[in-house]
Each structure stands twice: as structure tokens, then as C-alpha cells.
Structure 1
Amino acid sequence: MPGHFEPLPGGGAAVALDDVEISIIRSLAVQLLELVGPGPGEDAPDDPLAELFAEGPSEPPADPVLRRLFPDAYTDPDGPPARPQDAEEQRAYSAEFRRYTENDLRAGKRENALAVVRSLDALTPAADGGAVLTLSGEESRQWLSSLNDLRLAIGSRLEITDEDDTDLLYRLPDEDPRKPMVMAYLWLGGLQETLVSTLMS
């Protein structure tokens, strides 16, 4: 179990984490919460129906990490360049889609990251340090989504765009200032992979 998720009888997953690993995941999840933001709740009207139909932003976020977490719905960065009139139409469709979906997407990412923080805060430390994290099926899915968001965020900061970039990261010298972030990215990828396998078993 150390370092990777294993299935639990009846569903869910478990993983043994040491104190440093717990601290790293919790810190990253809190940073993700800060990045995604508190949501519209602070300024929302008292009418819950009005809050339900509140419109979100129509423009992509300025921060490249948030652009990765909330990409445009109608553009294909790997596809051929669109004709000017098609590009304008894509931007209009993307703006409309973002206006009506981004608030919900942000709320989902916040809830998943909060689930990570809460489950870590609820751990009972083992006598020799660390703890065994046990997750229900629903908690496992929230963790999986949040691990994916964390890797997207770190990958964006590291400017990873394809598998070749990941291969280069393995060869970074230890003195490279990106090395700790790279190690976190690769480690989270391992956790994510074992959690996927657990949920599919």
C-alpha cells in the first residue's frame, strides 16, 4: 500500500501516506482552492433562484493555469487554424458556453479540493508517523478529479504540453529550480494512475 492506492472491500480505496506526503498534498490542494477562488457566494443575492441562474465570465482567465483548468469549449489548439470568420464564431460560442458553465465548474473543483483537505485533516496519525487514508467510492472520485486538477496546474506552470516534455523532466539536474515541482508532478501522476486502476478494478 505505501505510495499507491489499493482497493477496499465493498468499494473505495486506501493509501499509506507519510507526514511529508500528507503535508504536500494538503498544501497543493489549499493552493488550488486559492487559485480557483471563493466563488460567487460572497456577492450572491439572497434569492437562491437568482444565484442558480447567475452568469459566469465570458472571457478566458488571464492566468495560464486557470486557462488550462477552464479551457475554451469550441477551440482546438492542435487543429488547423480556423478561418477568421470561423475563429470569431468559435470565440462567440466559447464565450456563451463559459458564461453558463464556468461557475459550476469552479464550484465542482472547489468541492473536490475541499474533500481532499477534509479527508487529510481527519486522518488519525499512526504510531510511527504518517497515516492510512481510506476513501469511499465518492471520495475516491473527488480525489481523482482533484489530483487531475493539481497535475494540470503544475504541468501548466512547468509548460508541459505533450509527452516529450514529460520525458525531458526526468532528465533535469538536481540543481534545477523546477526539480521539486517536477517531482511533485510525477508523484501525483503515480497516485492518480493507481487510483484510476483501483476504481476500475
Structure 2
Amino acid sequence: MRPFAPGPDGTILLHLTAEECRLLRDLARQLPVVLTGAEADPAVDRLLPTAYPDDADAAAEFRAFTRSGLVERKLTNAGRVAATLPDESGTTELTPEDAQAWLRTLTDLRLVLATRLGIEEDGDDGAPDELLRAVYDWLAYLQDCLLAVLEGTP
């Protein structure tokens, strides 16, 4: 069974196993730790890239005005993902707003894992960490399935 399916009235049905729910809940709860942790973390640089890499002053000014709002939106999205996961395996409905939060959080989680694995672009193998790579690939699968439902593609 695919994890996402069209639901009634524009909703999206989410179906995951209990183990998948626990893993996603744990990952969504770890994202705030990364976002509010050390700024020297390369994952933070991937999540909050420099807007003006060739102009340090403009980049610092842009960051001063936008960083807290961007971090807050990412924290809100991760919280929404954790809140919309079923407690155990089963099916739950996601609103279109929930689905957007899911897409954004899946992207953020994949960016963190890509950084940890040393993946810079498509085709990179990254570090030989089979577990992290499996989670990274599974998150890509979830994201692809959700996009297919949102786009109405089978």
C-alpha cells in the first residue's frame, strides 16, 4: 500500500505502519534540535542557505531580517507533521495545508540527512552509512508519493 492516497473533499489519506510513524515522529522532533543548535552545523547551512554568497554585508542583513521567521516556519511545519501522524499504524486524513507542511518537512529532513551523508547533488553516493541512506531514500519515496497525489498522478 502506498503511504498517500487521494481522500474525500481534497484531503489526502496517510497510511503508515507503527514503526514508520515512530521514525517520522522522532525525525520531526529532532529537526528543531538541528535548527536551534550550533550555527556551525553544516546542516543548518543547508536548511538556511546564504542569500547573497558574494556579498557578506547583504547576506548578514538579509539573515538578520529573515532567519527567525524562516526557522519558526520550519519548526511549525515539523510540529504539524508530528501532530498529524497517527499514534499507531492506521490511516489519517491530511488537509492541503498539512500536506504542504509535510512536503516542506520531508525536504528539510532530507537536507539534514544529505549533509550527514555527504550528498551534495543527485547521483552522489555519500558516506557508507546504510541506515542513514535507507532513511534518506525512504523520505524521498514518501515525498515522491505525496507529490504524485498532489499532482493527481497515479
Per the normalisation by structure 2, the TM-score is 0.90
Q: Give the whole-Å Cα distance in 1 for the aligned partners of 2:30 and 2:74.
A: 12
- Residue 139 of structure 2: aligned partner: 188
RMSD: 1.9
What is the identity, as a one-letter code, of the residue corresponding to 1:181?
L
Find runs of 4+ consecutive structure 1 residues off by over 4 angstroms.
none
Task: Indicate if the aligned counterparts of 1:33 and 1:110 stay in contact, CA closer than 8 A.
Answer: yes
Given the alignment of the two structures, is residue 137 of structure 1 paired with residue 137 of structure 2, yes or no? Answer: no
Return the structure number with greater helix share: 2
The structure-2 alpha-carbon separation of the partners of 1:71 and 1:18, relative to structure 1 and needing over 3 Å to count, comes to same
SS at match of 1:10: helix
Q: Give the whole-Å Cα distance in 2 for the aligned partners of 1:114 and 1:91.
A: 32
SS at match of 1:164: coil
Deviations 1:131-163 (A, max 9, x none): 113201111111111111000111111010111
Structure label with greater radius of gyration: 1
Task: Indicate if the aligned counterparts of 1:4 and 1:190 stay in contact, CA closer than 8 A.
Answer: no
Task: Indicate if the aligned counterparts of 1:17 and 1:133 stay in contact, CA closer than 8 A.
Answer: no
Q: Give the whole-Å Cα distance in 2 for the aligned partners of 1:65 and 1:124.
A: 29
Per the normalisation by structure 1, the TM-score is 0.70
Given the alignment of the two structures, is residue 27 of structure 1 paired with residue 5 of structure 2, yes or no? Answer: no
Deviations 1:99-152 (A, max 9, x none): 1000000000000000011112xx264xxxx11132011111111111110001
For structure 1, the residue ranges without an aligned partner over 5 or more in a row are 39-59, 76-86
The structure-2 alpha-carbon separation of the partners of 1:96 and 1:124, relative to structure 1 and needing over 3 Å to count, comes to closer
Q: Give the whole-Å Cα distance in 2 for the aligned partners of 1:94 and 1:65.
A: 18
- Residue 108 of structure 2: aligned partner: 149
Q: Give the whole-Å Cα distance in 1 for the aligned partners of 2:107 and 2:2.
A: 17
- Residue 73 of structure 1: aligned partner: 51
The structure-2 alpha-carbon separation of the partners of 1:124 and 1:20, relative to structure 1 and needing over 3 Å to count, comes to closer
- Residue 61 of structure 2: aligned partner: 96
Q: Give the whole-Å Cα distance in 1 for the aligned partners of 2:122 and 2:34.
A: 25
Task: Indicate if the aligned counterparts of 1:151 and 1:188 stay in contact, CA closer than 8 A.
Answer: yes
Q: Give the whole-Å Cα distance in 2 for the aligned partners of 1:114 and 1:35.
A: 14
Task: Indicate if the aligned counterparts of 1:17 and 1:132 stay in contact, CA closer than 8 A.
Answer: yes
Q: Give the whole-Å Cα distance in 2 for the aligned partners of 1:158 and 1:152.
A: 10
Task: Indicate if the aligned counterparts of 2:10 and 2:96 stay in contact, CA closer than 8 A.
Answer: yes
- Aligned positions, number: 152
Q: Give the whole-Å Cα distance in 2 for the aligned partners of 1:180 and 1:133.
A: 27
- Residue 163 of structure 1: aligned partner: 122
